[in-house]
Amino acid sequence: MYEKDTIVANATPLIPSAVGIVRISGEKALQIGKKLFTLPEKVEERKAYYGKIKDRKGEIIDEGLLLFFKAPRSFTGEDVVEIYPHGSVPVIKKILQEAIYFGARFAQPGEFTKRAFLNGKIDLTQAEAIAELIEAKTERATKAAVNLLEGKLSKKVNQLREELMHLISLIEAEINFPEDVEEIDEETLKMSLKSVLKKIEELLKTYRKGEIIREGIKLAIVGRPNVGKSSLFNAFVGYERAIVSEFEGTTRDFLEESLSINGIPVKLLDTAGIRETENKVEKIGIEKALQKIEEADVVLFVFDLSSGITEEDMQIYEKIKNKNPIIVGNKLDLVLDKNNEKYYFNDVIPVSSKTLQNFDQLEEKILQKLNLLEEADTDIYINLRHYELLKKAKEVIERVLKDFEYLLSNKEILMLEISEAERALEEITGEITTEDILGNIFSKFCIGK
């Protein structure tokens, strides 16, 4: 499948550091380890050896630890030697050079993980999880990557594959031995396909959410001038960044700021007051604002509780209501005594940007809107590659259900169709892959992983 040469790389992300890691994988790993390090004749696996690291002339480079992992009980499934010297740049460079001199080759990005995949230690979704884990910027993204690494997506996909393979075998038996086997019950077949379809659709839904968890929520604040957008923005961000003014319309363009709600990154956007205008400059600003709002995941529509809903509020609301905004009544502190206030909207979150009252409620509402409130423990989020393959499987099954009557009298075609859906699922876990797909996935890794 690949040349079994021995590869080496620095596995420490940051050097200088207290300790560095040089990882060697392949048939010659131990042999090279023995040249670089004073080791006993019989090296035990998974035991830390302490000693001097030497170059080809026997001169001491550093001292440190060495660990040996015997195939197949290693990350890559091959013999692996890990050397832990001090994390100095010249020391690590020297060890790499010497390992190459003794017969190793410098590893490509992701090559250790690729070998782990090719040796059947992990499937493709787990390999992707490792890249995701390394890149995760938030707690939530980390948790999701861990779930992927544990094989939670593979398990679901494999269950679906099994269901399809069961159907395929039934149809195949009927084609090959029409006298001996009973004809497939049409209703059962249809129900099975529908059940698989439903599960695929559920997985497909996790794509958008995964994107939000990995990349963050885009949150736009919209409303007429003076309702307190900038104040709300500042209250969120936690420090004064937007210019809060007593005069109308000071926030001409947009301000963007990043923050985090419950471990999820949020990109907050304060839009200029959207309203009808004859002024050309302002018109451009409005166009831009509307475009930004279109891109937002969640829109906060802000009005002023102390002045109530105005004509202008309604005009703006009309423009953005397709985004299904969260309605925020600001300046609660000014109307606290009038607690029977009747709002036009029946689902208003009253807040005060001045006293921060009800901000927790507002944050909860934002997460709820994106279905992000539930436990992260079960989170599975598919990536774009999974999405494309699941979509393909979905389309095939939909086609089968649509032409169901016809296919029942053409069982060979029916079998081919279901096999096509099954193969798309197989590609997710990497049962079948091409060099292109592998290259694409593993090139995104860092060296040493």
CB of 165 vs ligand GDP, minimal distance in Å? 59
Among 100, 133, 134, 244, binds ligand GDP (CB under 6 A): 244
CB of 257 vs ligand GDP, minimal distance in Å? 14
Q: Which is nearer to ligand GDP, 30 or 272 (CB)?
A: 272
**Residue 266 is labelled as binding a ligand:** no
**Residue 46 is labelled as binding a ligand:** no
**Residue 449 is labelled as binding a ligand:** yes
CB-closest chain residue to ligand GDP? 228
Residues 332-391 that bind ligand GDP (CB under 6 A): 333-334, 352-354
**Residue 251 is labelled as binding a ligand:** yes
CB of 289 vs ligand GDP, minimal distance in Å? 13
Binding mask 209-228 for ligand GDP (x = CB under 6 A): --------------x-xxxx
Of these partners, Zn ion, ligand GDP, none, which one is at the site of residue 246 (CB under 5 to 8 Å by kind)?
ligand GDP
Q: Which is nearer to Zn ion, 132 or 257 (CB)?
A: 257
**Residue 250 is labelled as binding a ligand:** yes
Q: Which is nearer to Zn ion, 158 or 230 (CB)?
A: 230
CB of 347 vs ligand GDP, minimal distance in Å? 19
CB of 302 vs ligand GDP, minimal distance in Å? 7
Binding mask 298-337 for ligand GDP (x = CB under 6 A): --------------------------------xx-xx---
Return the HEC string of the chain: CCCCCCEEEECCCCCCEEECCEEEECCCHHHHHHHHECCCCCCCCCCCEEEEEECCCCCEEEEEEEEEECCCCCCCCCCEEEEECEECHHHHHHHHHHHHHCCCEECCCCHHHHHHHHCCCCCHHHHHHHHHHHHCCCHHHHHHHHHHHCCHHHHHHHHHHHHHHHHHHHHHHHHHCCCCCCCCCHHHHHHHHHHHHHHHHHHHHHHHHHHHHHHCEEEEEECCCCCCHHHHHHHHHCCCCCCCCCCCCCCCCCEEEEEEECCEEEEEEECCCCCCCCCHHHHHHHHHHHHHHHHCCEEEEEEECCCCCCHHHHHHHHHHHHHCCEEEEECHHHHCCCCCCCCCCCCEEECCCCCCCCHHHHHHHHHHHCCCCCCCCCCCCCCHHHHHHHHHHHHHHHHHHHCHHHHHCCHHHHHHHHHHHHHHHHHHHCCCCCHHHHHHHHCCCCCCC
State the Cα angle at 407 between 404 and 412, rounded to 5°: 145
Of these partners, ligand GDP, Zn ion, none, which one is at the site of residue 244 (CB under 5 to 8 Å by kind)?
ligand GDP
Q: Which is nearer to Zn ion, 125 or 251 (CB)?
A: 251
- Is 251 a binding residue for ligand GDP by CB under 6 A? The answer is yes
- Is 271 a binding residue for ligand GDP by CB under 6 A? The answer is no
Task: Return binding residues for (6S)-5-formyl-5,6,7,8-tetrahydrofolate.
Answer: 23, 82, 121, 449
Q: Which residues bind ligand GDP (CB under 6 A)?
A: 223, 225-231, 244-246, 251, 330-331, 333-334, 352-354
Task: Return binding residues.
Answer: 23, 82, 121, 226-231, 245-251, 270-273, 449
